[in-house]
């Protein structure tokens, strides 16, 4: 209720709402753990003893699944390298103000909000794609959300629809290559969302 009030009445941006909820949860777990304590799993009360399983709570962690600082740094460096290389390519060839560059940057930010799931990030995508960048209309966005709800797979795939329609309507490859522009924009949006 407070998040709705903050957005509707005080026009607080959605990322600030998410950040506030994360800070509130962290502070609550730190200083009021008795209030923020997680309930035990429902299956815990039904188990009298240890259940035989190939992989259970007492199984040793396999070698490939153990934490490795080197592997973590390599993974982070690879991800940052792919992201910065793709972003540099877009900015270098098209400029930072081109719609494809803006889509890459916007959906990078959207991807960082997906820890709350698709329903947490989609209001941000709607606000950016419809109101700020005007890549698609509110009606087209509703069509995309309806399409996402009726097709199998995660709802976050709606971002490909947003990219396609945005690439088409903004004629990112020119008026003679609308389909190509839509496919390219959808591909860029998908890359930056799931990288």
pLDDT tens digits, one per residue of 45-95: 555 556 666 777 778 888 888 899 999 999 999 999 999 999 999 999 999
Residue with tokens 């199998």: 152
Q: How many C-beta atoms surround the C-beta of residue 68 within 10 A?
A: 12
Query: In the numeric block, which tokens belong to residue 159?
Result: 């971002």
Q: Identify whether the C-beta of residue 93 lies closer than 8 Å to the C-beta of residue 87.
A: no
Per residue in 162-173, pLDDT (tens digit) is 999 999 999 999
Distance (Å, whole) CA 80 – CA 14: 25
CA distances from 98 to 119, 165, 193 (A): 28, 16, 18
87 vs 36, 92, 106, CA distance in Å? 40, 8, 11
> What's the 3-state SS for the chain?
CHHHHHHHCCCCCHHHHHHHHHHHHHHHHHHCCCCCCCCCCCCCCCCCCCCCCCCCCCCCCCHHHCCCHHHHHHHHHHHHHHHHHHHHHHHHHHCCCCHHHHHHHHHHHHHHHHHHCHHHHHHHHHHHHHHHCCCCCHHHHHHHHHHHHHCCCCHHHHHHHHHHHHHHHCCCCCCCCHHHHHHHHHHHHHHHHHC
- Tens of pLDDT, residue by residue over 11-38, are 999 889 889 988 988 898 888 888 877 7
Measured in whole angstroms, the distance separating CA 8 from the mean position of its chain's CA atoms is: 23
Q: Six-digit token pair at 37? A: 């304590």
pTM equals 0.70
Cα angle for residues 119, 121, 127 (degrees, 5° grid): 110
User: What are the structure tokens assigned to 58, written together?
Assistant: 């007492």
Task: Note the pLDDT of residue 119.
Answer: 81
């Amino acid at each position: 209720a407070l998040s709705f009030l903050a957005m509707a009445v005080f026009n607080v941006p959605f990322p600030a709402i998410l950040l506030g909820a994360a800070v509130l949860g962290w502070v609550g777990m730190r200083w009021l753990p008795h209030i923020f304590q997680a309930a035990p799993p429902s299956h815990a009360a039904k188990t009298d003893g240890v259940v035989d399983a190939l992989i259970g709570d007492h199984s040793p962690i396999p070698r490939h699944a153990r934490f490795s600082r080197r592997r973590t740094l390599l993974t982070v460096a690879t991800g940052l390298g792919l992201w910065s290389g793709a972003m540099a390519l877009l900015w270098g060839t098209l400029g930072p103000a081109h719609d494809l560059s803006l889509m890459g940057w916007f959906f990078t930010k959207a991807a960082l909000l997906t820890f709350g799931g698709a329903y947490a990030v989609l209001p941000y995508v709607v606000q950016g794609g419809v109101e700020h960048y005007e890549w698609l209309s509110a009606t087209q966005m509703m069509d995309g959300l309806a399409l996402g709800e009726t097709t199998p797979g995660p709802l976050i795939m709606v971002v490909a629809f947003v990219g396609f329609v945005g690439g088409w309507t903004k004629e990112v490859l020119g008026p003679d290559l609308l389909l190509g522009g839509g496919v390219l924009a959808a591909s860029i949006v998908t890359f930056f969302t799931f990288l």
